[in-house]
Amino acid sequence: MIGYKTLAVPGPTNMPFEIRQAMDVALEDHRAPDFPEFTKPLLEDVKSIFRTTEGRVFLFPGSGTGGWEAAITNCLSPADTVLTSSFGQFSGLWVEMCSRFRLNVLNYDLDWGEGVPLDLYRRRLEADKHHEIKAVLGCHNETATGVTSDIAGIREILDDLGHPALLFVDGVSSIGSIEFCMDAWGVDVAVAGSQKGFMMPTGMTLIGVSQKAMAACEKALHSSCYFDFRDMAKANDQGYFPYTPPATLMRGLRASIDMMHREGLDNVHARHKHLAEGVRAATRAWGLGNCARRSTLYSDTVTAVVVEPGFDANRIIQAAYHNYGVSLGAGLGKVAGKVFRIGHLGWLNEPMVLQALGGVELAMRDCGVNFTAGSGVGAAIEHYTDRREPLSLAAE
């Protein structure tokens, strides 16, 4: 392949040089006397990205799937009841995992493009007078459809009803990019991944755990040692780990957090929104649809673009990849062939988004899609320049 690839999937993302360099080091002894001087501030500072001071954040070698499993195996026991909803590939997989762990799953299976059904959740929780429901699951950002759900809304329901269920949130493609307030929203287990908003390589899951969730571990019949929160907490308190930690990724995380702090987390979120709106303007200019049903559901980290009925979206993805080295996200499961996805998260600015949109236009032209060349890119450019002050670079 000649020239750089254009990485426009919703994770992994474009990795900043600063993070790449931070990890480009000799391996280190994770039992060294001064290792805690590195790990303790890291474990403290990562909490700011989850916006928690009450809870703690654990770092496991793993993926988001590991984070889902950690939530279940630490806090629940077989046959426990959970309230869930599925409206996309990833929300659906977590629900399926609940079944495999032999939980009693109360699931709302919704159209893809929908989000967490607050009304249905409220009704079901209201009906749960005996508090059989031990945990409520919410997918904050469904990566397959580009839908962001209202997690604060779930908390409001639980609080209104005085329901003690734990709140588990999949924040893999939201935390670090979209506003996420673990404490304010009363999230008990929040699952994140290194390769999304944290702009790092794959291989680490970051799990925010509230004190309430830690307490729940005491009663749960654990079925994992690897993901055991209590083992991890005990070792972390000394600045160490119960087994070999992903030290190289942790060096990257240090850089990632420092970068987010420097930009300011609010600015990070605002930048994602700003860039996402350009992508949505392009989509409209192309005359194509957004898989998310309503504008209130639009995700600021990924847009699933719906192609014309009958047209196979995978042709665009193939053309983009093979002809121009542009990686777009494919439609998964129920929307396979119906959408292509543009990831717009992480270490990104306006020209980088224009590169991705330009790549889409090249591919659509190669596939004979009917649109005006430059129209999508132009719409994004108009959006980006209609503001008084350019956003992204002013931030640092």
Stretch 49-78 residues interacting with a second copy (CB under 8 A)? 61-66, 69, 73
In the complex with a second copy, the residue whose CB is nearer, 114 or 142, is 142
Please state, in angstroms and rounded to a whole number, the distance separating the CA atoms of residues 326 and 336. Answer: 19
Looking at 36, 289, 325, 337, which residue binds a second copy (CB under 8 A)? 325
7 is a contact residue toward a second copy (CB under 8 A):
yes
Looking at 224, 270, 273, 284, which residue binds a second copy (CB under 8 A)? 224
In the complex with a second copy, the residue whose CB is nearer, 104 or 355, is 355
If you count DSSP H runs as helices and E runs as strands, how many of each does the chain have, helices first? 13, 14
- Cross-strand bridge partners of residue 107: 84
Strand order in the sheet with 56-61: 56-61, 204-209, 189-193, 166-170, 133-139, 81-86, 104-109
Please state, in angstroms and rounded to a whole number, the distance separating the CA atoms of residues 385 and 3. Answer: 28
In the complex with a second copy, the residue whose CB is nearer, 15 or 116, is 15
Please state, in angstroms and rounded to a whole number, the distance separating the CA atoms of residues 305 and 316. Answer: 11
Please state, in angstroms and rounded to a whole number, the distance separating the CA atoms of residues 277 and 279. Answer: 5
Please state, in angstroms and rounded to a whole number, the distance separating the CA atoms of residues 111 and 379. Answer: 30
Residue 360 contacts residue 377 (beta carbons within 8 Å): no
83 is a contact residue toward a second copy (CB under 8 A):
no
CB of 129 to a second copy, least distance (A): 32
218 is a contact residue toward a second copy (CB under 8 A):
no
In the complex with a second copy, the residue whose CB is nearer, 184 or 393, is 393
DSSP state of 51: T
Looking at 6, 141, 149, 236, which residue binds a second copy (CB under 8 A)? 6
In the complex with a second copy, the residue whose CB is nearer, 165 or 260, is 260
- Considering only residues 11 to 30 of the shown chain, the ones binding a second copy according to CB under 8 A are 11-15, 17, 20-21, 24-30
Between the alpha carbon of residue 126 and those of residues 157, 272, 297, the distances in Å are 9, 36, 25
Residue pointed to by tokens 């990686």: 327
Between the alpha carbon of residue 90 and those of residues 71, 195, 285, 341, 372, the distances in Å are 15, 16, 29, 14, 34
- Residues in the interface with a second copy (CB under 8 A) total 103
Looking at 169, 189, 291, 379, which residue binds a second copy (CB under 8 A)? 379
358 is a contact residue toward a second copy (CB under 8 A):
yes
Q: Is residue 69 left, alpha or beta, with left meaning phi > 0 and alpha meaning psi from -120 to 50?
A: alpha
CB of 153 to a second copy, least distance (A): 28
Part of the chain binding a second copy (CB under 8 A), chosen from 7-15, 146-154, 159-167, 207-215:
7-15
In the complex with a second copy, the residue whose CB is nearer, 55 or 246, is 246
- Considering only residues 333 to 352 of the shown chain, the ones binding a second copy according to CB under 8 A are 347-352
The two three-digit tokens of residue 93, written as one number: 């997989």
- Considering only residues 359 to 378 of the shown chain, the ones binding a second copy according to CB under 8 A are 359, 361-362, 365-366, 372-378
In the complex with a second copy, the residue whose CB is nearer, 154 or 268, is 268
323 is a contact residue toward a second copy (CB under 8 A):
yes
174 is a contact residue toward a second copy (CB under 8 A):
no
Part of the chain binding a second copy (CB under 8 A), chosen from 45-53, 175-183, 194-202, 298-306:
194-202
In the complex with a second copy, the residue whose CB is nearer, 154 or 276, is 276
* Interaction mask 239-268, a second copy, x per CB under 8 A: ---xxxxxxxx-------------x-----
Buried b (16+ CB within 10 A) or exposed e, 18-41: ebeebbeeeeeebeeeebbebbee
107 is a contact residue toward a second copy (CB under 8 A):
no
Strand order in the sheet with 289-290: 6-8, 326-330, 339-343, 302-306, 289-290
In the complex with a second copy, the residue whose CB is nearer, 87 or 321, is 321
The two three-digit tokens of residue 282, written as one number: 């392009």
In the complex with a second copy, the residue whose CB is nearer, 89 or 290, is 89
